[in-house]
Amino acid sequence: MKVLLLTSTAPEYILNEKILSRLDNLVPIGLLYLGAILKRAGHTVKLIDVHNNFIIGRQVNLKNEVNFFKPDLVGVNCFVTGRFKSAINICNQVKETNANIPVVMGGIHSSMLPKEIMEEYKCIDYICLGEGEKFILDLMHAHFNDKSALKDIDGIAYREHDKIVINPKTMFIQDLDEIPFPDYDLIDIHDYWFDTSKWFNPKKLPINVSLPIISSRSCPNKCTFCSNYLIQGRKWRARSAKNVVDEIEFLYKKYNQHYFSFLDDNLTLSKKRILDICNEILARKLDIQFDTPNGLSIKTLDKEILDSMTKAGLIRVSVAVEHGSEYMRNSVMKKNLSTKAIYDFFKYSKNYKNLTVKAFFVIGYPQETRETLQETYDMIQKISPYLDFLGMFFVSPFPGTEVFTYCQKHSLINLSKEDIRDGNYYAVYTNYNDSDLPMIKPYELTLEDLVNFRDKAKKLVRRRYK
């Protein structure tokens, strides 16, 4: 059969003001995985990256594309909340062109609110809850051959007459090595090239674009602001070191690619595995550089790991500090991370001359006070000599998180059900925080207090590179 895969775009004000983050230049890795699965099963796949086409100034007429390709099924990715409005618009365009084409939506926002979205938006026939590689083939078999089999699909939302049926996500792919590599034949990689001349590039290698690598899925931690478990589950699952480096080597040789971004939520959870990955890179003499934009867990890092990673090509590391107050960090956020471990990391990170460091902080919980903000300010001030970037975010109470449940219970979210369903109150999931306003008013602070603190704290760190 013929399957059309479509990306959604960032909010219009983000695109129009050209304040895209580095992650917006990444190839649509999730759809490339799906495309590889579908092609291996014998289906014909076309991928249109609506978002990237907008960035490079190429017009896409979706209705013409649908009429020309005549897909049997359309999949629309909405990987962050801020793209939901665009995703709905795309689904509507498909249905307006041919109402008989089944439309599937995937991504974290629809996985958080499947019932509410299915009830409101008739342009969506199915929602994939969580990872989609096994789901997409099961869905195609059920839809085209035996509708009664829908009830047996793990992690799906669909309509049965006028009733919304939600099958919770309970099973996740355990052997990630069995999944084929993302299919880059579905895109023209040159469409993703952009000006990286101001990037930190100690090896002076060609960059052009950073290609994403997902070497593991999920995270066993239970941070109260994180909703990723809805997509990946609670159990950490990892690809073998050989499989990961096989993918890197393939991209290195086929596309002359020298720069990669590990998008794992907990890349260094297994010390042996990350050391094995680095040793494989070195043994194969792959002349590469890479970064970790999602934030490594400091409690999984030590000097041996950083030694190995920097030798293999690590030049930009992001770490999840989250807060200067140990009470906020561990009792409220449940990070289980000591202040001593944070300072120890920054002390030995300064010894790597070809490593830039970014730290993530989250502020604005209901329990936030002037005293806890001061603790965060003091910490940033102490680590600022070793810090190249600072990510300062207001906590976002995503549905399904512990902070969302708490804020609902105490009536701290001043939003309608429609706002929550449609994601109107978010920019893009943690990417565009400079444009955001706090969504929660702490008991003892004003929203203006939080904005002023963020702006003051950011002045402590001089951004050296893009």
Per-residue pLDDT for the chain (466 aa), expressed as one digit of tens each?
999 999 998 777 666 656 566 666 789 999 999 999 999 999 999 999 999 998 888 999 999 999 999 999 999 998 878 888 899 999 999 999 999 999 999 998 899 999 999 999 999 999 999 999 999 999 999 999 999 999 999 999 999 988 999 999 999 999 999 999 999 999 999 999 988 898 999 999 999 999 999 999 999 999 999 988 888 888 999 999 999 999 999 999 999 999 999 999 999 999 999 999 999 999 999 999 999 999 899 999 999 999 999 999 999 999 999 999 999 999 999 999 999 999 999 999 999 999 999 999 999 999 999 999 999 999 999 999 999 999 998 998 888 899 999 998 998 886 777 877 877 654 433 334 444 678 889 999 999 999 999 999 999 997 666 5
With a CB cutoff of 8 Å and minimum separation 6, the contacts of 302 are 271
Instruction: Give dist(CA 381, CA 458) in Å, integer.
Output: 10
Is residue 127 classed as helix, strand or coil in its secondary structure?
A: strand
Element (H, E) at 190: none
Write out the two tokens for 46: 């076309």
Select from 3.20.20.70, 3.30.70.100, 3.80.30.20, 2.60.40.420 the CATH code of 196-458: 3.80.30.20
| Termini Cα distance of the chain | 43
Nearest to 388 by CA among 414, 356, 425: 356
The length of the chain in residues reads 466
Domain boundaries, the chain: 2-167, 196-458
- Is the fold of 2-167 the same as that of 196-458? no
The CATH topology of domain 2-167 is Rossmann fold (3.40.50)
Instruction: Give dist(CA 329, CA 339) in Å, integer.
Output: 9
With a CB cutoff of 8 Å and minimum separation 6, the contacts of 162 are none
The verdict on pTM exceeding 0.75 is yes
Q: What is the dihedral of CA 171, 260, 392, 460, to 10 degrees?
A: 160
Strand duo 73-77 + 44-48: pairing: unpaired
Question: Distances from the Cα of 160 to the Cαs of 6, 96, 150, 163, in angstroms?
Answer: 25, 22, 10, 5
Nearest to 243 by CA among 204, 288, 273: 273
Residue with tokens 């978002």: 51
| pLDDT number for residue 111 | 92
